[in-house]
Amino acid sequence: MIQGIQVETARGPIGLEALGRVLVHEHVFVISPEIQMNYPQEWGSDEMRIADAAQRLNDLKAAGIDTIIDPTALGLGRYIPRIVEVARRTDLNIVVATGLYTFNELPHYYRRRPLVGTAIDSMCSHFVQDITEGVHGAFDETGRGVRAGVIKCATDTPGLTDDVERTLRACARAHRITGCPITTHTHATTQRGLDQQRVFAEEGVDLSRVLIGHCGDTDDLDYLQRVLDQGSFIGMDRFGIDGYLTTDQRVEVVAELCRRGYAGQLSLSHDASCYIDWIAGEVPLGALPNWHYLHISQDVVPALLAAGVTDTQIDAMLIDNPARFLGSAAGGGY
């Protein structure tokens, strides 16, 4: 591991070697801000939610995980000052995101500020600001602005709509300007990761600096190999969401990809949260009892080992690959 490389977190920059074991796709809060501002009874108080989140992350730290990437971009209720307060109460590192989460149309704000000529549009400029100057209103203990460590975008069942494509291209351009790595949401069963890779490649992105998310939702190994063979990391990152694949099925896909020599491009996570108002009830939900931060540490790692995955491959997925992904930002723009 290269010494001297730093990674941005909610408490400020840390050395790459301090990342430790990383879950690459976990949210702290996923909320609908207009609902919470006008009907706050379910949310309760900020203090209650912050204290609860800090305790959950402390439990995760005690289970052997040192860092999470929180890809809560615009469209998911991102409010980084609240995440900073959570981070102050835990020793676990939180890497925060810029970017935009939409499956179809852009927010009206961006739709009415289109790309003109070769100028950088307002969406890309906002992403660059978050990466280079810091997120508005969020400061670490030294007074430095908290900066995004990843760029997030999404493609789902509607496919590559005009607005989704514009979002991907804005993210790619922000990456090219800053060097910040890209992480994504995809719909694996419709192979949306390939759309993302094509657009990113057209924009000149080195695909080895991209993590194509939610690939663990499919057992289509041909599709997964096509994504992997273009050099990207992939997220086996929804352990506990049994509606796509069960934990046993997800474990077998990871084990098979390891057998095929791809352990150096895989990463693990749950896509869980401390609180998500998209689904009624507190987490973990009764219908998804394993969809929580501790499932990988308690259940998945032992199952992977039993399936023939080696300790070295586990370390690659939890330590080495996330460090290479996040550390790629040290290369800067190009």
User: Is residue 153 a contact partner of residue 311, using CB atoms and an 8 Å limit?
Assistant: no
Q: Where are the domains of the chain?
A: 6-331
pLDDT at position 2: 56
The contacts of residue 254 (CB under 8 Å, 6+ apart) are 216, 236, 266, 268, 304, 307, 309, 317
65-99 pLDDT, tens digit each: 999 999 999 999 999 999 999 999 999 999 999 99
pLDDT for 281 equals 83
Q: Which residues of the chain have pLDDT under 50?
A: 118-119
For the entire predicted model, the pTM comes to 0.96
One-letter identity of residue 215:
C
Q: What is the pLDDT of residue 3?
A: 65
Burial of 69 (0-12, 13-18, 19+ CB in 10 A): buried
Tens-place pLDDT, residues 287-334: 899 999 999 999 999 999 999 999 999 999 999 999 999 998 776 665
Q: CA-CA distance, 49 to 53, in Å (whole number)? A: 6
State residue 1's pLDDT score.
Answer: 52
Question: Residue 69's closest CA among 185, 162, 176?
Answer: 185
- Give the pLDDT confidence score for residue 50 in this predicted structure: 98
Return the pLDDT at 280.
86
| Separation of alpha carbons 258 and 267, rounded Å | 11
Query: What are residue 74's phi and psi, to 5 degrees?
Result: -55, 140
Kind and range of the H or E run holding 86: helix 80-88
Residues 119, 121, 124: CA angle, nearest 5 degrees: 120
Q: Give backbone dihedrals phi and psi of 274, rounded to 5 degrees, phi first.
A: -80, -30
Distance between CA atoms of 56 and 270, rounded to whole angstroms?
14
Please name every residue paired with 99 in a beta bridge, in sequence order, or none if there are none: 152
The two three-digit tokens of residue 65, written as one number: 């995980």
Q: Could you tell me the CATH superfamily of domain 6-331?
A: Metal-dependent hydrolases (3.20.20.140)
- pLDDT of amino acid 332: 66
